[in-house]
Structure 1
Amino acid sequence: MLKSDLIQRLATENPHLRPVDLVRAVEAVLQTLHRGLSEGRRIELRGFGSFAPTVRRAYVGRNPKSGERVEVPDRLRLGFRAGRALRQRLNPAPRSPTPPPSPG
């Protein structure tokens, strides 16, 4: 889903809100998430999941073309862990088969 798809869906589900206000709201939420992550903070959205920057340690790599050793510095990467409600929605529990009717 693209950001524009999200805004369109919100507009459809909330016809009383002006589209320009929805755009501003989505932009504000994304800007706040971006700012928090860039400051190294963990962000948790209950029921959806959590985003957390983690450090990928420095290592010595190799240039695939020349074989030369290359020092790769520490880097921040973004991790995401789905919340319980999202996991359950994506992978619903299998339904148990209904028992056959009892004779009689």
Structure 2
Amino acid sequence: MKNKSDLVDLVSRRIEFLKKEDIDKGISEILVYISSTLSKGKRVEIRGFGSLSLRPRSSRIGRNPKTGTSIVINKKYHPYFRASKSLKRKLNS
């Protein structure tokens, strides 16, 4: 699976009574919910799969590769996924 449309195709083959358009809308809504929840600084947990949260990257000194001058890279947040115990067991069995 490479992208969202591949996921839509996979789900539509497994759940034949749903239209592809409805599956696409459902997946889009899930992604919007996850994005908006993370942007509020909250954690998203999907039981049996894992949780998504934000982790801070502290500010640091970087270097412009063209000029070699030092620049300050401000503090940023990046998404972090932690797999559930049951997912880890499935992957390692």
Assess same fold via TM > 0.5: yes
Q: CA deviation at 1:54?
A: 1.2
Q: CA deviation at 1:64?
A: 3.5
Answering whether residue 13 of structure 2 is matched by residue 12 of structure 1, we say yes
Q: Could you say which structure has the higher helix fraction?
A: 2
Tell me the TM-score normalised to structure 2 length. 0.88
Q: How many percent identity over aligned positions?
A: 34
Number of equivalences: 92
2:43 aligned partner: 42
1:71 aligned partner: 72
Moved over 6 A (4+): none
Deviations 1:19-56 (A, max 9, x none): 21111111111111111111111111111111111111
Answering whether residue 66 of structure 2 is matched by residue 62 of structure 1, we say no
Q: CA deviation at 1:65?
A: 3.9
Tell me the TM-score normalised to structure 1 length. 0.80
Alignment CA distance shift 1:64-1:19 (3 Å) = closer
Unaligned runs of 5+ in 1: 93-104
C-alpha distance in 1 between matches for 2:25 and 2:68: 49
Question: What is the RMSD computed on CA atoms of the aligned residues?
Answer: 1.3
Unaligned runs of 5+ in 2: none
